[in-house]
Chains A and B, each alone.
Chain A
Amino acid sequence: MPSLREALQQTHQILEASGIPDARLEAEVMVMNVMRMPRQDIFAQQELAVSSQQQETLSQVIDRRKQREPLAYILGYKEFYGVNLLVTPDVLIPRPETETLVEHALFMSLMGMEVAHLVIADVGTGTGAIALNLAIHLPAARIYATDSSEKALMVANYNIRRHNVADRVTLCHGDLMEPLPEPVDLIVANLPYIPTARIPTLQPEIQWEPAAALDGGEQGMDQITRLIAQASERLNPQGSILLEMDPEQVPLAEELARQYFPEAETGVERDLAGLDRVLTISRGVAEEA
């Protein structure tokens, strides 16, 4: 029977030969999941024998990965902001850039806003990644998480229950903000923002993700535009909006913000790669009487 060390090396070689990026890291993640051990044990247990059943499972994982199926879909989970989330092919796999959105939302909530009765809307929630993490770190907040896909909401439902925030996160099925029962203090959204024509040119892994979660129309701005247009009536006077987008979309979005929220302050937050990533629209600093 092969040792863990051998299984790792073989897996690494196969992945690399198939052109999978980060082959070594992926090999480690695959082995640690198949062998059900934390990553550091991989180093301590190099001589551990890999059973034939484990070899078989590993083989299946590798075969699927060779088809460029995203590793997160194969393993069924993705860590986001320190929390493990269930992912299925019905949802977009959370990206690290969205952590910037979460961080900034938390920052704004804790610094400036009325924390006690904060009502938040996560529009297009997908896995529930944003809603869930806000619920965890803002114990007094009530959160609505909407999505147009029922299947996505099933995944979000699992995640919010799994992390014990189901009592404070309400899932709503519908288009953008339509299903919201009341106006909110904070709107956060990571809506699809890839231009339609660009999607097929992206890496193979992305072709496995739901197109509806990526497609933002011709310039990638359709969903964002609709949201900004809808938001005015659904946002409380002192409220804010945080939207994730591409750097090149920021100027257009700022223009839209000025149009629909002439009195609001806008800002842009960068992600860890230094790119403009999150547009912030802050209503009402209260006017002087």
Chain B
Amino acid sequence: MLRDDSSLAEEVRQEILECDQDLRALEGAIVREMIPRDQSDDHSAVLEVRAAAGGTESSLFTSEMFAMYQKYAAYRKWGFETLSVSESELGGYKQASASVTGTGVYGRLKYEAGVHRVQRVPATETHGRLHTSTMSVAVLPQPRDIEVVLNTNDIKVDTFRAAGAGGQHVNTTDSAVRLTHKPTGIVVSIQDQRSQHQNKAKAMKLLQALIYEQQRKTAVEERDEKRRQQIGSGERSERIRTYNFPQDRVTEHRLGVTVWGVAGFMSGTDSLDNLLEQLSAHDLQENLTRLME
């Protein structure tokens, strides 16, 4: 029995529509696949916060930023293991670093690299004047073991023990380990209450990350100059964000976006996550555009 012509035509029209949609989706997928992605996006990362020279405000803000990232890691269910903390005598941190582990950590945290600026009336300020201070964040991808093969002959290991017999002669809480990578001169030290065995393992991971970063930098320098200007290139001197406490807002300079609620932002949950999502989307867009050119 022959079907009605008009219903057949309708079916065909439907099918064409669906094929069209599939085609567009596939085209989109092809283009996305062609975008050069940072291979390290999947990796874990090493995060470092550093206060600007001089000023209690900067070191206090640095410790608050470290706290924010620790909370964000917890929010994202990532591992967060402190590698080093260098306290400032007046409170806060001069420097601190952590190993943040999980899938896609680097791809997210890389947008935090750069200089963060804080504007507020410090606790110590008697005349209610607004102060501006800065701190910087560096984010390094943690390479998989296979990507950075370390030759044990290249690594000098030592502890911080003063001269002496060691062993049963000494009883201390710390079992610090220092690794020096002779070919590059990179030095890494971990001081912790954990066993020396664990500290050495941590130090190795950090060393791997630093060597990997050096390798990457060399590779990037050999590439297109323009690529270095893109978001997430991790240029340390780039001022990326301002936290204004009296006005209760955070301004992301790369996007020209304002987020309201500084405390909420620094709680390291939805607010920060949303902004990183926006930065990621923007980055993708930029890459797409560049691809089209």
Taking Cβ atoms with an 8 Å cutoff, the residues of A that contact B are 5, 9, 21-22, 24-26, 28-29, 39-41, 43-46, 70-72, 79-83, 92-93, 95-99, 103, 190, 192-194, 198, 202-203, 205-206, 209, 214, 244-248, 271-275, 277
- Chain A's closest residue to B161 (CB) is A273
Q: Flag whether B169 is at the interface (Cβ < 8 A).
A: yes
Once bound together, how far apart are the Cα atoms of A193 and B174, in whole Å? 22
Q: Which one of B165, B168, B198 has the highest number of Cβ atoms from chain A below 10 Å of its Cβ?
A: B168
Find out whether the CB atom of A40 lies under 8 angstroms from the CB atom of B167.
Answer: no
Residues of chain A within 8 A (CB-CB) of B197 are 80-82, 96, 99, 103
Q: Flag whether B196 is at the interface (Cβ < 8 A).
A: yes
Q: Flag whether B158 is at the interface (Cβ < 8 A).
A: yes
A40 with B81: in contact, given A25-B191, A202-B169, A209-B171 (CB under 8 Å)? yes
Q: Flag whether B70 is at the interface (Cβ < 8 A).
A: yes
Once bound together, how far apart are the Cα atoms of A76 and B96, in whole Å? 29
Cβ contact of A22, chosen from B80, B159, B174, B200, cutoff 8 A:
B174
Q: What is the CB-to-nearest-CB distance from A72 to chain B, in angstroms, rounded to a whole number? A: 8
Residues of chain B within 8 A (CB-CB) of A72 are 173
Taking Cβ atoms with an 8 Å cutoff, the residues of B that contact A are 63-64, 66-67, 70-71, 74, 80-82, 85, 87, 91, 96, 98, 157-159, 161, 165-175, 177, 191-198, 200
Cβ contact of A46, chosen from B67, B159, B175, cutoff 8 A:
B67
- Chain B's closest residue to A12 (CB) is B87
Residues of chain A within 8 A (CB-CB) of B67 are 43-46
Cβ contact of A25, chosen from B74, B165, B170, B173, cutoff 8 A:
B173
Find out whether the CB atom of A275 lies under 8 angstroms from the CB atom of B168.
Answer: no
Cβ contact of A21, chosen from B165, B166, B172, B194, cutoff 8 A:
B172
Q: Which one of A43, A202, A277 has the highest number of Cβ atoms from chain B below 10 Å of its Cβ?
A: A43
Q: Which 7 A-B pairs have the closest CB atoms?
A: A96-B196, A44-B70, A96-B175, A205-B171, A273-B159, A97-B167, A44-B67
Find out whether the CB atom of B195 lies under 8 angstroms from the CB atom of A206.
Answer: no
Find out whether the CB atom of B70 lies under 8 angstroms from the CB atom of A41.
Answer: yes
Once bound together, how far apart are the Cα atoms of A274 and B178, in whole Å? 12
Once bound together, how far apart are the Cα atoms of A75 and B63, in whole Å? 27
Cβ contact of A214, chosen from B161, B168, B194, cutoff 8 A:
B168
A272 with B196: in contact, given A22-B173, A194-B169 (CB under 8 Å)? yes
Once bound together, how far apart are the Cα atoms of A206 and B82, in whole Å? 29
A272 with B200: in contact, given A22-B173, A40-B82, A43-B63 (CB under 8 Å)? yes
Once bound together, how far apart are the Cα atoms of A121 and B252, in whole Å? 63
- Chain B's closest residue to A95 (CB) is B167
Find out whether the CB atom of B167 lies under 8 angstroms from the CB atom of A71.
Answer: no
Majority DSSP secondary structure for residues of B touching A: mixed
21 residue pairs bridging A and B, Cβ less than 8 Å apart: A24-B87, A41-B70, A43-B70, A44-B67, A44-B74, A45-B67, A46-B63, A79-B195, A81-B195, A82-B194, A82-B198, A92-B168, A95-B166, A95-B168, A96-B175, A194-B168, A194-B169, A247-B165, A271-B166, A274-B157, A275-B167
Residues of chain B within 8 A (CB-CB) of A80 are 195, 197
A193 with B66: in contact, given A81-B197, A273-B158 (CB under 8 Å)? no
Q: What is the CB-to-nearest-CB distance from B93 to chain A, in angstroms, rounded to a whole number? A: 8
Find out whether the CB atom of B166 lies under 8 angstroms from the CB atom of A26.
Answer: no
Residues of chain B within 8 A (CB-CB) of A103 are 197
Find out whether the CB atom of B168 lies under 8 angstroms from the CB atom of A79.
Answer: no
Find out whether the CB atom of A79 lies under 8 angstroms from the CB atom of B193.
Answer: yes
Residues of chain B within 8 A (CB-CB) of A271 are 166-167
Once bound together, how far apart are the Cα atoms of A23 and B170, in whole Å? 16
Cβ contact of A95, chosen from B71, B170, B177, B198, cutoff 8 A:
B170
Once bound together, how far apart are the Cα atoms of A26 and B193, in whole Å? 8
A79 with B194: in contact, given A24-B87, A246-B165, A272-B158 (CB under 8 Å)? yes
Residues of chain B within 8 A (CB-CB) of A244 are 167
Cβ contact of B167, chosen from A41, A81, A277, cutoff 8 A:
A277
Residues of chain B within 8 A (CB-CB) of A274 are 157-158
Cβ contact of A71, chosen from B70, B173, B200, cutoff 8 A:
B173
A203 with B173: in contact, given A24-B87, A43-B96 (CB under 8 Å)? no
Once bound together, how far apart are the Cα atoms of A26 and B74, in whole Å? 25
A275 with B166: in contact, given A25-B191, A29-B173 (CB under 8 Å)? yes
- Chain B's closest residue to A191 (CB) is B168
